[in-house]
Amino acid sequence: MVALNKYQRLEASGLWRETTEAQRREVIVAVGDATLVVTDMQERPLAHWSLPAVHRANPGVTPALYHPVGSPEETLEIAGDETEMIAAIEKLQKAIHKTTPRPGRLRGVALTGSIAAVVALGIFWLPGALRSHVTKVVPQINRVVIGQDIVAHLQSVTGLPCHEPAADAALKTLAKRVNVREIIVVPDGIRHTAALPGGAIVMSRTILEDHEDPAVAAGYLAAETVRAAALDPLEKLLSSGGIAASFRLLTTGQLTDKTLRGYAEALVSESPAAVELDQMLRHFSDLQLVAAPYGYAQDVSGETTLDLIEADAVLGQVAPVLGDGDWVALQEICTN
């Protein structure tokens, strides 16, 4: 679309409020791929709205007030002097609707034409097929925001994520070592680990504090990565929320607090799913991790994890997980 290409680099300041009870925050609004991207002043993603599903609550009045269709509690206010952005939103919406095969039928996350095809075929009304389709088309930035929202709902049970300057640096080193985008350590609630949409993994402090070998923590993270590869965390979330959650995410790019809160509560109570041994060993080998420490952490006797423990003999080259200083700092991340 010529109109979309023209505004790809357009940015403006605004005031964003997630709910009616929340305070307004100063944000940066940018035009994305048929979307509005809302970030904080440090360029961290806060929201990702599909342009066809953005509604202006006060046409012709400034400051312009917008919200996602179906979610009037979340608002974005753009000042009257940001005339180029306000005009761009209106022009892009008209251009997108003009090229949609069935105007008003569906408003999509990224490609309205593909969604119209989905409707025409009808197959994606089936819960499993719809869920699979939504999982494939949701952009990474939306996944990250959804993961952050889940962490916010988890905090009522887990407490605030643990932070300490030296330990935070060590945590980033560990995340890089096991190829995880972000590790979030919580003081309570989660039994072991839980993968979130967007690539973050929540980890219990007990994994760090109850073991002397950093390879144990690396093993838990590696195992969770294998689970996430077998079942996409976003698809798992949509499965718990039902067809309504899939449809809402497809059409508005967002999920309700009820859906997110319910999933967060489920993460706290569920036990980790079993992991195929071959997949686990392949991943340990790719990461150059020893498997025995994790095996013994699962079963002190080693009887039920013998295959995992004995696999070290054939895993090939291994590398250290963390230096002693980083590991000691990481074990104390929740002490303050």
Q: Is residue 108 part of a domain?
A: no
Compare 214 and 130 and report the one with higher pLDDT. Answer: 214
Residue 35 is classified by DSSP as E
Q: Which of 83, 100, 117 is the last residue of a domain?
A: 100
- What CATH number is attached to the domain comprising 19? 2.30.29.30
Q: Is the pLDDT of residue 298 over 50?
A: yes
pLDDT over 60 (residue 203)? yes
What pLDDT is attached to residue 176? 94
Same domain? 198 vs 325: yes
- Verify that 18 and 95 share a domain, yes or no: yes
Half-sphere exposure of 20 (CA within 13 A, CB side): 3
pLDDT at 120: 45
pLDDT at 227: 94
Do 44 and 162 fall within a single domain?
no
| Res 105: pLDDT | 39
What is the pairing mode between strands 200-204 and 182-186?
A: parallel
The tokens describing 102, both together, are 């069935």
Does residue 206 share a domain with residue 323? Answer: yes
Domain span holding position 65: 2-100
pLDDT of residue 276 exceeding 60: yes
Chain segment 116-174, per-residue pLDDT in tens = 454 544 444 467 777 888 888 888 888 888 999 999 999 888 889 998 888 999 999 99
- Structure-block tokens of residue 263: 């999933």
Q: At what angle do helices 233-252 and 127-137 cross, to 10 degrees?
A: 80
- For the chain, percent of residues with pLDDT exceeding 70: 87
Nearest to 253 by CA among 70, 29, 57, 101: 70
Q: Please, are residues 95 and 31 in contact by the beta-carbon 8 Å criterion?
A: no
User: What SS3 state is found at 64?
Assistant: strand
The 10s digit of each residue's pLDDT in 61-113 is 888 898 887 778 889 899 888 888 888 888 877 776 555 444 443 344 444 55
* CB neighbour burial string for 244-270, b if at least 16 within 10 angstroms, e if fewer: ebbbbbbbbbbbbeebbbebbbebbee
Same domain, 161 and 96: no
The answer to whether residue 214 sits within a structural domain is yes
Strands 200-204 and 193-195: antiparallel
Q: Name the pLDDT band for 319 (thresholds 50, 70, 90).
A: confident
Query: Hey, which residues does 76 pair with through a beta bridge?
Result: 16, 66
Q: Is residue 106 part of a domain?
A: no
Same domain, 7 and 74: yes
Pick the last residue of a domain from 100, 132, 158. Answer: 100
Count of C-beta atoms within a 10 Å radius of residue 99: 12
d(CA 223, CA 319): 18
Contact between 194 and 161 (Cβ < 8 Å): no
Same structural domain, 184 and 91: no
In a domain, 112, yes or no: no
Would you state the pLDDT for residue 9? Answer: 67
Residues 80 and 229 in one domain: no
pLDDT class of 2 with cuts at 50, 70, 90 = very low
Is 42 domain-assigned?
yes
288 pLDDT exceeds 50? Answer: yes
Whether residue 192 lies inside any domain: the answer is: yes
Last residue of a domain, one of 69, 100, 131: 100
Q: Is residue 284 part of a domain?
A: yes
| Token pair in block for residue 124 | 């994606």
- The residue type found at 90 is E
- Pairing between strand 54-56 and 45-50? unpaired
- Classify burial at 165, counting beta carbons within 10 Å of its beta carbon; exposed 0-12, middle 13-18, buried 19 or more: exposed
In sequence order, the 6+-apart residues with CB closer than 8 A to the CB of 288 are 316, 317, 318, 319
Do 150 and 291 reside in the same domain of the chain?
yes
Output the average pLDDT for the chain. 83
Mean pLDDT of 246-263: 88
What is the residue type of 204? S
pLDDT at 51 over 90: no
93 lies in the same domain as 32: yes
Our count of domains for the chain comes to: 2
Q: What is the pLDDT of residue 115?
A: 55
The pair of structure tokens assigned to 126 is 């089936």
Q: Name the range with the highest mean pLDDT among 16-25, 139-148, 199-208.
A: 199-208
pLDDT band at 310 (very low <50, low <70, confident <90, very high): confident
Residues 6+ apart with CB under 8 A from 62: 79, 80, 86
What number of other Cβ atoms are within 10 A of residue 23's Cβ? Answer: 8
From 69-83, 114-128, 185-199, 205-219, the region with the lowest mean pLDDT: 114-128
- The verdict on 94 and 159 lying in the same domain is no
Asked if residue 113 is part of any domain, the answer here is no
Q: Are 198 and 297 members of one domain?
A: yes
- Token pair recorded at residue 143: 């996944």
Arithmetic mean of pLDDT, 224-252: 90
